[in-house]
């Protein structure tokens, strides 16, 4: 092993064990240039095998699961495993589930213009700053904007501006304009996403999707979700 290989090995080990004050990076985390960690208000914990893109601004408290892609500005949030939030845009005071993909420019509001307490599911939380809850397997298109206090169900797809709660297995095109995401298509999309990470969509995953789709049927009916083919007209 020549000196160049030794340097590469040392750098690799250092990237796995590096600890900043108030920041913990799991093994295998890859960091690009000019990343800003702000731990003034709380620690930052990043799970193993994540990638942090150049120019990212991460503010604690922040907890991120394994194998995520991080970029833009993220603060005071919990992000599950295998989730992508790697482009510009803001996520704050939110819970983002597993296998979520946030398109470039997606931003989440966590503060009302009136500075009044935010309601979630009709309940006054008493919180002035509160973002959103996004269920597992959900996706947002580029430049999606989500109002504060919203709850997004499992395996839903968001486009444009979201001013209301979105049930599971729904394509939200615009306020009051929601279409049911077919179960077969939801599975196909998740299989493709997992394959990109070298993972298999298993029989257990199939069963989970079947159960979730059936159990959330009432939510879609109550919200007046359309069962016709998705249309952006």
The token pair at 117 is 């307490």
Average of pLDDT values for 217-226?
96
Q: Count CB neighbours of 129 within 10 A.
A: 15
193 or 18: which leads in pLDDT? 193
Average of pLDDT values for 56-60?
96
Q: How far apart are CA 57 and CA 93, in angstroms?
A: 14
Residue 38: which region, alpha, beta or left (left: phi > 0; alpha: psi -120 to 50)?
A: beta
Q: Kindly give the interhelix angle for 183-196 and 203-215, rounded to the nearest 10 degrees.
A: 140
pTM: 0.89
Task: Confirm if 166 and 150 have CB atoms less than 8 A apart.
Answer: yes
Per-residue confidence (pLDDT) for residue 102, from 0 to 100: 99
Q: Which H or E run includes 7?
A: helix 3-17
> In this predicted model, what pLDDT tens digit does every residue of 20-48 receive, in sequence order?
579 999 999 999 999 999 999 999 999 99
Q: How far apart are CA 134 and CA 117, in angstroms?
A: 20
Per-residue confidence (pLDDT) for residue 232, from 0 to 100: 76
Q: How far apart are CA 23 and CA 128, in angstroms?
A: 26
Task: Confirm if 153 and 168 have CB atoms less than 8 A apart.
Answer: yes
Q: Which long-range contacts (CB under 8 A, 24 or more apart) does 141-145 make?
A: 141/103, 141/106, 142/103, 142/104, 142/105, 142/106, 143/103, 143/104, 143/105, 143/106, 144/102, 144/103, 144/105, 144/106, 144/107, 145/106, 145/107, 145/109
For residue 123, CA distances in Å to 113, 127, 184 come to 19, 11, 34
Q: How far apart are CA 141 and CA 10, in angstroms?
A: 40
pLDDT classification of 2: cutoffs 50, 70, 90: low
Q: How far apart are CA 82 and CA 194, in angstroms?
A: 9
Burial bucket for residue 145 (CB in 10 Å: 0-12, 13-18, 19+): middle
Q: How far apart are CA 17 and CA 228, in angstroms?
A: 52
| Average pLDDT value for the chain | 93
pLDDT classification of 230: cutoffs 50, 70, 90: confident
**Percent of the chain predicted with pLDDT > 90:** 88
Assigned fold of 13-222: UDP N-Acetylglucosamine Acyltransferase; domain 1 (2.160.10)
Q: Which region among 42-56, 151-165, 185-199, 218-232 has the lowest average model confidence (pLDDT)?
A: 218-232
């Amino acid at each position: 092993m020549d000196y160049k290989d030794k340097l590469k090995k040392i750098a690799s080990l250092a990237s796995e064990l590096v600890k900043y004050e108030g920041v913990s990076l799991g093994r295998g985390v890859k960091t690009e240039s000019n990343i800003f960690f702000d731990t003034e208000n709380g620690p930052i914990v990043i799970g193993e095998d994540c990638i942090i893109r150049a120019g990212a601004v991460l503010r604690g408290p922040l907890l991120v699961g394994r194998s995520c892609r991080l970029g833009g500005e993220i603060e005071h949030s919990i992000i599950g495993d295998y989730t992508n939030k790697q482009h510009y845009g803001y996520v704050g005071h939110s819970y983002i589930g597993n296998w979520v993909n946030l398109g470039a420019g997606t931003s989440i509001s966590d503060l009302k213009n009136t500075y009044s307490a935010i309601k979630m599911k009709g309940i006054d939380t008493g919180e002035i700053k509160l973002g959103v809850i996004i269920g597992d397997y959900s996706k947002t298109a580029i430049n999606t904007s989500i109002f504060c206090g919203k709850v997004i169900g499992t395996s839903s797809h968001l486009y444009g501006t979201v001013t209301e709660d979105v049930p599971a297995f729904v394509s939200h095109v615009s306020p009051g304009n929601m279409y049911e995401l077919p179960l077969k298509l939801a599975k196909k999309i998740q299989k493709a996403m997992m394959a990109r990470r070298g993972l298999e969509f298993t029989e257990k995953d199939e069963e989970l999707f079947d159960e979730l789709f059936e159990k959330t049927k009432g939510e879609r009916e109550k919200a007046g979700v359309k069962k016709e083919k998705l249309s952006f007209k």
